[in-house]
Structure 1
């Protein structure tokens, strides 16, 4: 039960931060999206995002900073396995399933529903 509560709290705080950035600054949703992915990657590279995942579980991995974390941690893992060339393949290997699912379901939704003009 505590894991669910912490996922809710951590994920909720990330969402609150994003909403505050959109409401109180001139940043657009696209700016916040990029900011969160980059922030997740930077925090992951510094080793600060994994402790947040250990505390918040899915509340930290599902929001946008979790994608940045996946890119960086996948790249670091692949560099440790194959060396320099892991820079180019690690992020793709770590996030391929999520990106494929997003493209597939986006296509299905686009085919099923008519856009409002």
Structure 2
């Protein structure tokens, strides 16, 4: 039963985020491209994180809120804010990257390994 108390909220929160992205792409064709949606999610997550509204969403939805790109934006903003409190204004330049460095490195590494394994065509 404990697993369902974690899975269902993650599914619902992640599903709502995905529905918002799909609606943005469907209702704003052709001017709003998928790249615009990606930037909107990262920026939106950073703004909601700075306002303190994204943390409760992560507490409710867990991975359903932290895995999508809005969670990446939240991590960038949270890392920058934490670094500013520790290091001053210079922390704003490095804190977000330091907080998300492991995820970025993993994405680059696995993307490279998959490109080697499957030999993409240009």
Report TM bin, short chain: over 0.9
- How many matched pairs? 117
Task: Please give the residue correspondences for 1:31-46 in structure 2 after superposition, counting only pairs within 5 Å.
Answer: 31-46=36-51
1:11 equivalent to 2:11? Answer no
Task: Please give the residue correspondences for 1:87-102 in structure 2 after superposition, counting only pairs within 5 Å.
Answer: 87-102=92-107
TM-score normalised by length of structure 2: 0.92
**How much is the aligned-residue C-alpha RMSD, in angstroms?**
1.0
Tell me the CA shift for residue 2 of structure 1. 1.2
Per-residue Cα deviation, 1:7-61 (whole angstroms, up to 9, x for no partner): 0000011001101111111211100000000000000011111111111111000
Structure 1 segments unaligned to the other structure (5+ residues): none
TM-score normalised by length of structure 1: 0.96
Structure 1 runs (4+) greater than 4 angstroms displaced = none
User: C-alpha distance in 1, partners of 2:41/2:97?
Assistant: 19
